[in-house]
Amino acid sequence: MRIVIIGCGRVGSTVARLLSPTHDVTIVDRTSDSFRRLGTSFKGKRLVGPATDMDVLRKAGVEGADAFIAVTDGDNRNIMASQMAKRVFNVPTVLTRVYDPVRASVFQKHGIHVLCTTSMAAGFFRDIIEGNACDTFAEQLQAYLDASVQKA
Amino acid sequence: MNIIVVGGGNVGYYLVKDLKAAGHSVILMEKDRQRAARLYEDLGDLVRQGDGCESRTMQDLGVGQCDLVVAATGEDEDNLIVCQMARECFGVKRTIARVNSPANEALFSELGITTTVSSTRIIFNLIEQEIETDHIVPLAALARGNLEVVSVELSDHSKMVGRSVGEITLPADAHIVAILRGDKGMLPSPKAILQAGDVVLTLVKTDRESELHHVFEGH
C-alpha cells in the first residue's frame, strides 16, 4: 500500500518504521531534524514542508495514496490535513490523532478515523482503577509496545 | 450584531476597533497570554484570553448566541477549525475565515466555510491589474470573484479592429456586454464594426480571463 504520514514525532516515526518494510511509505515533517527519529532502517521517502500545503501533499503522493496518517503535534493541523486528504484527494483510509476529545468527536463524523489518545489513556486508567480493564485490550497494548520497542 | 473575533493580531485588533466603533457588540479572543494582556490594556474587557478552538472556552463566551464568528488568526488551520467548530458544535450560522494561503479558499469552501477573505489574494490581484499588458483591465468582480467585468481597449494593432462583433470568437462563459466609443455606449449588435480606440466591456469567468488576451491581442 502507498501510505503518507504527516508528522515525524514519536508516533509518526514509529508507525513509519513499522510500515516501511512492507509498504511504500512517505513521511512529511516541517523540519528535517525530526527525521533523525527514523533511524537507519527506514526505507521510505522523507519530505520537508508544511503538511497543510496542497503542493506539499501532492508532492508526498497523497493523490492515489491508499492511506493517510496525520500525527503532527497540532490537532488543527491534523484535522485540516486529514480533511484535505479525504475531500480533495479522496484517500480511502484517513487516520488522525487528536488530543482534544471534543474536536475528536466532532470530526469523527467526517469520514475520518479519529484516534483520541487522551480519551484512550484516561479511559484505560479509569478502567484499571475500577477493575474493569479488558484483558485483551491490555494484551493488545503490550503487543504494540513490544513491536515498537523491537523496531527502535 | 454580536460578533466574536478569534485572533488578536493586527487584523483582529483593527477589525474589533472598527466593529466596536460601528456599534457592534464584539469580543476579541486571543490565545497568547502576553498578547491578550496588552490588548486588554488598550481595549478593556472585550478582550478574552483563550483558545478559540476549545469548545469550553467558546461555550463560556456564549458562542451559541452570537450572530457571527470571525476567525482572523495568521494560521489557516486554526481559522478553519474555529469556523467548523462554531458551526457544528454551536450552530453558529455565519462565519468568516481569514485565509492566508489563497490556495486554501477552495478547500474552505468545499468544507462548508464559504465566506473567506484572503489578503494575499487581494494584493496579488491588485498587482496583476497594475501589470495588465494589452489594455485588458478588470473593472469589477462579481459572484464572490468568480465572474468579472473587464474592459478591453482596442489598440490600432488589435486584430479585431475592422471586424464585426459577430465574428469574434470568445472563450466559453464570456460575453460582450457593451461597446464604448468616445462618450457613446452601444449594445453589442452582431453587425457592429469595431474601431481602434473602442472599449469592449466583457463579462467573463475569472479563471478564463487570460484567454481574452488571445482574442484581442495584436496581429
Q: Where are the domains of chain A?
A: 2-117
CB contact under 8 A, B101 and A55: no
Mutation test of the interface with chain A: which of B81, B89, B108, choosing the one with the most A Cβ atoms within 10 A? B81
SS3 A23: coil
CATH number where B188 lies: 3.30.70.1450
| Of B32-41, B55-64, B79-88, minimum mean pLDDT range | B55-64
Q: What is the pLDDT of residue B219?
A: 45
Flag whether pLDDT at B49 surpasses 90: yes
pLDDT band at A54 (very low <50, low <70, confident <90, very high): very high
In a domain, B44, yes or no: yes
Give the model confidence (pLDDT) of B120-171 as tens digits.
Answer: 888 887 777 666 455 777 788 887 778 888 888 887 777 788 888 888 888 8
- List the single residue in B54, B78, B111 with the smallest CB-CB distance to A87: B111
Task: Report the alpha-carbon distance of residue A22 to residue A18 in Å, rounded.
Answer: 9
Instruction: Work out the average pLDDT over B37-53.
Output: 94
Q: Is the pLDDT of residue A68 over 80?
A: yes
- In sequence order, the 6+-apart residues with CB closer than 8 A to the CB of B165 are B176, B179, B188, B189, B190, B191, B192, B194
Q: Decide which of B26 and B164 is more confident.
A: B26
Query: Are A74 and B77 within 8 A, CB to CB?
Result: yes
**Higher-scoring residue by pLDDT: B142, A3:** A3
Whether residues B75 and B148 share a domain: the answer is no
For B111, which of A52, A83, A100 is closest by C-beta distance?
A83
Q: Which of B143, B151, B147 minimizes the C-alpha distance to B200?
A: B151
Say what the ipTM of the complex is: 0.88
What is the count of structural domains for chain B? 2
Q: Collect all residues from B whose CB is shorter than 8 A from any CB in A.
A: 53-56, 75-78, 80-81, 84-85, 88-89, 101, 103-104, 107, 110-111
> Which CATH homologous superfamily contains domain A2-117?
NAD(P)-binding Rossmann-like Domain (3.40.50.720)
B68 and B142 both lie in a single domain: no
Q: Rounded to a whole number, what is the distance in Å from the CA of A87 to chain B's nearest CA?
A: 8
Domain contains B191:
yes
- Pair B171, B147: CB distance under 8 Å: no
Region A71-85 average pLDDT? 97
Using CA atoms, how far apart are residues A68 and A62, in angstroms rounded to an integer?
Answer: 7
Instruction: Check: CB of residue A18 under 8 Å from CB of residue A147.
Output: yes
Across the interface, whether the CB atoms of A80 and B89 are under 8 A apart is answered: no
Range of the domain at B34: 2-122
Answer yes or no: is B127 within a domain.
no
Average of per-residue pLDDT values in chain B: 88
